[in-house]
A = this chain, B = another copy of it.
């Protein structure tokens, strides 16, 4: 009798608790979809400021704009966290052509990779050799590579449903291609854009020369996918074609910039910190709407939704707008460094850095115990068509916060269109859908709500 009574009590309690969570989450989605601010903020970031490369005037404008907006939300604290960031400048528009024979040329769209050195002022013209990746490059060896431009042309695998997996399978060419080619005496590198579509937009992105001394570094550029197809076909017809490219990009001394942080203090456990985040910097070719204006405005929106719904968090909730994710991760590293030095206890960090598309779920980096518990929350998200709760990568900026305890997560939006725009001139505001952006913000806010209410399990 008493056991039955207890069971009934538990059932009722669980029932009530669920219902309350359901109500809170419904209120979050309703507010985001009827009176959201994220789309207006993104409009400003994208159309009044534009591309926000670290160290640029636009990056500084974005710092000031987002701080001002967060100041207006009635948070407990908003501050700038100084961080030194790299300053790389693209310079004059790049120029490239394929030369079948002297005077018979086809221009192709290229852009310098972020961090690349310039070509000489008159450009570089050389034989060009196509490889499908670094492994093949190494097999060919110095005799086949020295004096040439290396053309990395391994495409993203279209059969992978998760397009980030296709990206991971190719991006080594962009990141390390120049370093490896330079070691074999190449004079330049051209990389097929990380893009699943055939179009005319070259896609930039970060690269590294590793430990190469300055005098050994060779210029590297991305070519549009249509350009890559043209170049590959031309090479098959005439292996003696030459390739010309010119770029005037330059790395300057580091400059000071900022992470922008807004906080609502926890009412019960103020020392337990929850982070919701995106990155303020973007590449310079488009206006950075998807990468990662979306994550920035969604993170701000999470705090705003709490305020407008009159929700008083038990734990401390911070929106962190990181600087310099794209070419240095200095903001993420600095934030973690300061957190460690202050002995701050971060229990959960969420990043949105995969575009402002319809949210499909989350990718979690957590202990098994916490992941098991997370799975019990899945049903709360199903009415919002959010189905994916999986283990995996969280977000670059929050990675440095990783320890045994903290739960890290990345928002997983629909990824089919992301690489159409990623790091390219067409990452622009008109490609973000208002509802999709708002649904992402509400999905993030709902997860933050649950972590705020239930905390994490000890390890």
Question: Shortest beta-carbon distance, A109 to chain B, in Å?
Answer: 19
A403 within 8 A of B: no
Question: Chain B residues near A196 (CB, 8 Å)?
Answer: 435
Question: Chain B residues near A240 (CB, 8 Å)?
Answer: none
CA distance A33 to B416 in the complex (A): 12
Contact assessment for A33 and B159 in the assembled complex, using a CB-CB cutoff below 8 Å: yes
CA distance A290 to B290 in the complex (A): 23
Contact of A387 among B33, B158, B387 (CB under 8 A): B387
Question: How many of chain A's residues have a CB under 8 angstroms from any CB in B?
Answer: 27
Contact of A159 among B30, B159, B358, B385 (CB under 8 A): B30
A360 within 8 A of B: yes
A417 within 8 A of B: yes
Contact of A161 among B162, B383, B387, B417 (CB under 8 A): B383
Question: Chain B residues near A158 (CB, 8 Å)?
Answer: 33-34, 435
Contact assessment for B388 and A388 in the assembled complex, using a CB-CB cutoff below 8 Å: no
A322 within 8 A of B: no
Instruction: Identify the closest chain B residue to A29 (Cβ).
Output: B159
Q: How many monomers of this protein are in the complex?
A: 2
CA distance A436 to B419 in the complex (A): 13
CA distance A163 to B420 in the complex (A): 25
Contact assessment for B388 and A416 in the assembled complex, using a CB-CB cutoff below 8 Å: no
A65 within 8 A of B: no
CA distance A83 to B185 in the complex (A): 70
Question: Chain B residues near A383 (CB, 8 Å)?
Answer: 161
CA distance A10 to B420 in the complex (A): 46
Contact assessment for B197 and A434 in the assembled complex, using a CB-CB cutoff below 8 Å: yes
Identify which of A358, A384, A416 gathers the most chain B CB atoms within 10 Å of its CB: A416
Contact assessment for A161 and B385 in the assembled complex, using a CB-CB cutoff below 8 Å: yes
CA distance A384 to B385 in the complex (A): 15
- 12 more contacts with CB within 8 A, not counting A29-B161, A417-B435, are A30-B159, A33-B158, A33-B159, A34-B158, A158-B435, A161-B383, A161-B384, A163-B435, A360-B385, A414-B414, A417-B436, A420-B433
Q: Which residues of A contact B (CB under 8 A)?
A: 29-30, 33-34, 158-159, 161-163, 196-197, 358, 360, 383-385, 387-388, 414, 416-417, 420, 433-436, 439
20 chain-A/chain-B pairs, Cβ below 8 angstroms: A29-B161, A30-B159, A33-B158, A33-B159, A34-B159, A158-B435, A161-B384, A162-B385, A163-B435, A197-B434, A358-B358, A358-B414, A358-B416, A360-B385, A385-B388, A414-B414, A416-B435, A416-B436, A416-B439, A417-B435
The 9 closest A-B pairs by CB, nearest first: A387-B387, A33-B158, A416-B435, A30-B159, A416-B436, A358-B414, A33-B159, A417-B433, A161-B384
